[in-house]
Amino acid sequence: MSNSLLAPGAVLALWTLIMLLWVAATRFSAMAKAGVDLKAAPPGGRGADLEGVLPPNVNWKSHNYTHLLEQPTLFYAVIIFLHLAGGVTGLTVGLAWAYVILRIVHSLWQATVNRVPVRFGIFLLSTICLFILSLLAVIATLG
Whichever domain contains 77, its CATH number is 1.20.120
The per-residue pLDDT of the chain, averaged, comes to 93
Residue 1 lies in a domain: no
- Residue 53: the pLDDT is 81
- Residue 1: the pLDDT is 64
Can you say whether residue 50 is alpha, beta or left, with left for phi > 0 and alpha for psi between -120 and 50 degrees? alpha
User: How many domains does the chain fold into?
Assistant: 1
112-119: long-range contacts, CB 8 A cutoff, minimum separation 24: 112/57, 112/60, 114/56, 114/57, 114/60
Residue 99 lies in a domain: yes
Backbone angles phi, psi at 52, to 5 degrees: 85, -15
Residue 96 lies in a domain: yes
State the pTM of this model.
Answer: 0.92
- Residue 123: the pLDDT is 98
Instruction: Let me know: does 96 contact 5? Beta carbons within 8 Å.
Output: yes
Instruction: Let me know: does 134 contact 78? Beta carbons within 8 Å.
Output: yes
- Residue 143: the pLDDT is 85
Q: In this predicted model, what pLDDT tens digit does every residue of 2-26 receive, in sequence order? A: 789 999 999 999 999 999 999 999 9
Residue 23 lies in a domain: yes
Q: What is the residue range of 112's domain?
A: 6-142
Residue 92 lies in a domain: yes
- Residue 68: the pLDDT is 98
Residue 53 lies in a domain: yes
In which residue ranges of the chain is pLDDT below 50?
none
